């Protein structure tokens, strides 16, 4: 299989966020990756955890990349919701670094909770001190995690870790686990200030 | 098309089947012929066969030419040939004319051996299920147990889907293009108008026009004109013809607009080469296909036993077989946790897009097909 080749590549450019996600996904489970890009994460999970994975992707070039590496990919726009997916039909639904580019942000998280028994949401933390410093200096933040200029950014709903915690509370979402990383290393001290990427494992609260 | 990747000169073959084919209607065909063409070479373990299922007016001549001087190659020549998306250097491709057709397979215009006269109105009405059963018989005849893939667009896509339902163990991959799990009322309504045009033509003679030495040309022509309107999008028609006039407005009913000229040309061409009885039967096969019907409309239940891997593909401007209908197939496959990918190709040409060599569309097919294992050292 081509998987092996790709995993070797992945080791070269080890992705700490992938490793954390892999830690949260059960062996052999069914996973839906929303905004799956070229299928890299699903390939990683397929190879390491033998998951049954499906990706959702809007972009034509990414769709081709997924087909090429044998990732099941469904071409659709996440802004339209997840009407093609049954309630609680996936063990885990993932939205990796895509939340901030969604217009229907609230709707997609609720849709994920409908379709997935658990969901994983990751996003660049806008409360990261480097972002704050750039704002303080009078500029919109530009960084490795937020590589766009204000005029060409696809990011429309940036938030901080505190904001997202509050969002979960207000929407009756249980935070099962939260991990924060900066440059591939975990951050536990002052995460909203020192963390660049926020990662959440979530579940709808039982009524 | 470039000549250097054409399959070149091809020739049809006929397979005769003397054992009866039991039909969904309860009738049976005592014996029948299927005309077919093949491209490429069947490998030693016979694992590289691909069958192409044709749509309403298609036939077995899918690729290549019969004579170098032929004006046009087969109807899906842009897809099939050496180094083309369906690469005949790797795959053994089979195209056939469906039963009830008018291009060499047994159909209404064929001679009924029992009466020595054309079948005409007595030729049974076939279904998608019957076609797939007859295609399976053709595979048996060719000594092929498993298909690497079944590919079809539109009504052909319905056959591809039916293959995975009826013969799950014989199909590894299904490419279902611009299709639907059944027709909507609006879609069936177009078929009804087309049939009424044919049936009410005075030269139809209840379907036995062969004996009268006439054909219901007017009816067939109108049926085809209607079909062509539905195969194009509003935008595509607008772009192709707009309100362009041939000459000036003449305050009459002859051809004045370019669009009318196109429709009449297409209608006349078709009426001169296609059999009206076949057209009636093809549209009925479309109407009747509904694999979810025995499951109270539950397509997920209907696809419970499929095992093939799927590529489902639709075109954004196709309103006759809209993307929403393809997504129903995808959803049923997802519900069953099957291996499936779905591509929604942005295209302006409406339903006709599935026959056109759009670069992205062909890249999708090429990419998907190149990942199909064809055994014999070609494993990927």
| Min distance B380 CA to chain A CA atoms (Å) | 7
CB B171 within 8 A of CB B308: yes
**Whether A48 contacts A111, CB under 8 Å:** no
The ipTM (two decimal places) reads: 0.94
Q: What is the pLDDT of residues B51-73, one digit of tens each?
A: 999 999 999 999 999 999 999 99
A86 CB neighbours in chain B (<8 A) are: 334-335
Res B380: pLDDT:
38
Q: What is the per-residue pLDDT across A105-128, written as a single tens digit (0 to 9) for each?
A: 999 999 999 999 999 999 999 999
Interval B315-339 mean pLDDT: 97
Q: How far apart are the first and last CA of chain A?
A: 44
Q: Which backbone phi and psi does A164 adopt, to 5 degrees?
A: -70, -35
Of residues B318, B322, B326, B349, which has the active-site annotation? B318
**Residue B109, φ and ψ in degrees, nearest 5:** -85, -10
Q: How far is B16 from chain A (nearest CA, A)?
A: 40
Site from B298, B310, B312, B343 to mutate, A interface, most A CB atoms within 10 angstroms:
B343
Cβ <8 Å between A84 and B344: no
| Interchain contact, B337 vs A30, CB within 8 Å | yes
Q: Which of B341, B371, B380 sits opposite A72 (nearest CB)?
A: B341
User: A13 pLDDT band (50/70/90 cuts)?
Assistant: low
Cα–Cα distance measured from residue A54 to residue A36, given in angstroms and rounded to the nearest whole number? 9
B373 touches chain A (CB under 8 A): no
End-to-end CA distance of chain B: 29
Over residues B124-152, the pLDDT tens digits come to 999 999 999 999 999 999 999 999 999 99
pLDDT on residue B228: 95
Residue of B nearest to A67 (CA): B368
B339 CB near a chain A CB, below 8 Å?
yes
Nearest CA in chain A to B328: A84
| Mean pLDDT value of segment B337-346 | 98
Q: Which of A3-7, A175-179, B279-283, B332-336 is the least confident region?
A: A3-7
pLDDT digits (tens, 9 = 90+) for B290-305: 999 999 999 999 999 9
Length of chain A, in residues: 207
Q: Which of A3-12, A19-28, A81-90, B37-46 has the lowest mean pLDDT?
A: A3-12
Summarised one tens digit per residue, pLDDT across range B6-33 is: 999 999 999 999 999 999 999 999 999 9
- CB pair distance less than 8 Å for A60 and B360: yes
Residue A81: is its pLDDT beyond 90? yes
Sequence length of chain B is 380
Using alpha carbons, list the distances in angstroms from residue B270 to A138, B58, B118, B223, B241.
70, 12, 21, 10, 20
Tell me the per-residue pLDDT of B104-119, one tens digit each, with 9 for 90 and over: 999 999 999 999 999 9
Closest by Cα among B279, B282, B127 to B199: B279
CA dihedral B346, B351, B352, B354 (to 10 degrees): 60
Q: What is the mean pLDDT of residues B331-357?
A: 97
Report CB contact under 8 Å: B331, A84. Answer: yes
Does the beta-carbon distance from B340 to A85 stay under 8 Å? no
Q: Tell me which of B57, B105, B351, B358 is the catalytic residue.
A: B351
Pairwise CB contact (< 8 Å): B341 & A66: yes
Band of pLDDT at residue A6, cut at 50, 70 and 90: very low
The C-alpha of B50 sits at a distance from chain A's nearest C-alpha, in angstroms, of 19
- pTM of structure: 0.94
Cβ pair B341:A85 closer than 8 A: no
Give pLDDT, residue A145: 85
The two beta strands, B86-87 and A73-75, are: unpaired
**pLDDT tens, position by position, B185-228:** 999 999 999 999 999 999 999 999 999 999 999 999 999 999 99
Q: What is the DSSP letter of B124?
A: P
Residue B376 is predicted with a pLDDT of 56
Q: What is the reported pLDDT for A5? A: 34
Give the C-alpha separation, B345 to B358, whole Å: 9
User: Mean of the pLDDT values across residues B331-347?
Assistant: 98
CA distance A198 to chain B (A): 30
Q: Does B335 touch chain A (CB under 8 A)?
A: yes
Average pLDDT over residues A175-203: 96
pLDDT tens digit sequence for B82-95: 999 999 999 999 99
Please, which residues bridge with residue A90 across strands? A116
Q: Torsions phi, psi of A11, nearest 5?
A: -70, -35
Catalytic residue check, B322: no
Nearest C-alpha neighbor of A97 from the set A49, A152, A154: A154
- Smallest Cβ–Cβ distance between B330 and the set A2, A60, A74 belongs to A74
CA A173, chain centre distance (Å) = 17
| Rounded average pLDDT over A93-112 | 96
B343 interfacial to chain A (CB closer than 8 Å): yes
Is the distance from CB of A20 to CB of A179 less than 8 angstroms? yes
Question: How far B329 CA sits from the closest chain A CA (Å)?
Answer: 10
* Interval B356-377: pLDDT, tens: 999 999 999 999 999 998 875 4
B334 close to A (CB below 8 A): yes
- Rounded to whole angstroms, what are the CA distances from A6 to B52, B117, B363, B370? 34, 64, 22, 18
How many CA atoms, within 13 angstroms, populate the side-chain half-sphere of residue A50? 2
Q: Which residue in the list B154, B233, B317, B326 is annotated as catalytic? A: B154
Mind listing the pLDDT tens digit for each residue in B241-285?
999 999 999 999 999 999 999 999 999 999 999 999 999 999 999
Q: Is B154 a catalytic residue?
A: yes
Set of chain A residues whose Cβ sits within 8 Å of the Cβ of B343: 63, 67, 75
CA-based nearest distance A134→chain B, Å: 40
């Amino acid at each position: 299989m081509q998987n092996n080749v790709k995993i070797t590549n992945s080791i070269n450019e080890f992705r700490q966020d992938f490793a954390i996600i892999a830690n949260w996904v059960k062996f052999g489970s069914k996973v839906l990756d929303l905004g799956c890009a070229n299928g890299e994460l699903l390939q990683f999970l397929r190879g390491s955890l033998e998951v049954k994975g499906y990706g959702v992707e809007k972009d034509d070039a990414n769709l081709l990349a997924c087909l090429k590496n044998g990732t099941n990919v469904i071409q659709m726009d996440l802004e339209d919701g997840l009407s093609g997916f049954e309630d609680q039909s996936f063990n885990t639904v993932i939205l990796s670094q895509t939340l901030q580019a969604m217009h229907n942000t609230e709707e997609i998280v609720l849709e994920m909770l409908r379709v997935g028994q658990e969901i994983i949401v990751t996003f660049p933390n806008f409360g990261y001190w480097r972002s704050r410093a750039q704002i303080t200096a009078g500029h919109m933040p530009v960084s490795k995690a937020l590589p766009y200029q204000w005029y060409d950014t696809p990011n429309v709903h940036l938030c901080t870790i505190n904001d997202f915690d509050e969002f979960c509370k207000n929407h009756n979402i249980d935070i099962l686990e939260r991990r924060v990383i900066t440059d591939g290393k975990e951050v536990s001290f002052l995460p909203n200030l020192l963390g660049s990427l926020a990662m959440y494992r979530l579940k709808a609260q039982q009524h | 098309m470039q000549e250097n990747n054409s399959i070149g000169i091809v020739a049809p073959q006929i397979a005769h089947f003397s054992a009866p084919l039991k039909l969904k209607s309860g009738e049976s065909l005592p014996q029948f012929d299927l005309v077919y063409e093949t491209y490429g070479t069947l490998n030693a373990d016979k694992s590289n066969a691909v069958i192409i299922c044709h749509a309403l007016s298609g036939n077995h001549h899918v690729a290549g030419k019969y004579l170098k001087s032929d004006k046009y190659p087969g109807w899906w020549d842009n897809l099939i040939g050496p180094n083309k998306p369906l690469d005949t250097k790797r795959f053994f491709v089979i195209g056939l004319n469906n039963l009830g057709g008018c291009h060499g397979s047994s159909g209404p215009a064929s001679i009924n051996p029992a009466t020595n006269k054309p079948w005409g109105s007595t030729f049974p009405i076939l279904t998608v299920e019957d076609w797939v059963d007859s295609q399976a018989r053709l595979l048996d005849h060719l000594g092929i147990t498993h298909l690497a893939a079944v590919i079809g667009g539109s009504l052909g896509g319905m056959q591809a889907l039916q293959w995975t339902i009826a013969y799950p163990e014989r199909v590894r991959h299904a490419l279902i293009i611009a299709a639907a799990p059944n027709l909507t009322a609006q879609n069936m309504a177009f078929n009804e108008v087309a049939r009424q045009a044919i049936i009410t033509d005075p030269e139809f003679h209840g379907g036995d026009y062969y004996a009268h030495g006439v054909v219901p040309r007017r009816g067939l022509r109108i049926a085809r004109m209607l079909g062509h309107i539905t195969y194009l999008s509003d935008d595509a028609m607008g772009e192709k013809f707009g309100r362009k006039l041939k000459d000036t407005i003449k305050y009459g009913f002859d051809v004045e607009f370019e669009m009318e000229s196109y429709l009449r040309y297409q209608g006349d061409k078709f009426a001169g080469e296609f059999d009206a009885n076949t057209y009636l039967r093809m549209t009925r096969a479309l109407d009747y296909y509904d694999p979810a019907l025995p499951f109270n409309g539950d397509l997920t239940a209907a696809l419970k036993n499929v095992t093939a891997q799927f590529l489902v593909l639709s075109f954004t401007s196709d309103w006759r077989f809209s993307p929403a209908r393809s997504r129903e197939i995808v959803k049923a496959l997802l519900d069953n946790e099957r291996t499936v990918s779905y591509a929604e190709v942005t295209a302006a040409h409406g339903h006709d897009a599935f026959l056109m060599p759009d670069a992205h569309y062909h890249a999708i097919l090429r990419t998907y097909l190149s990942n199909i294992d064809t055994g014999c050292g070609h494993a990927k």
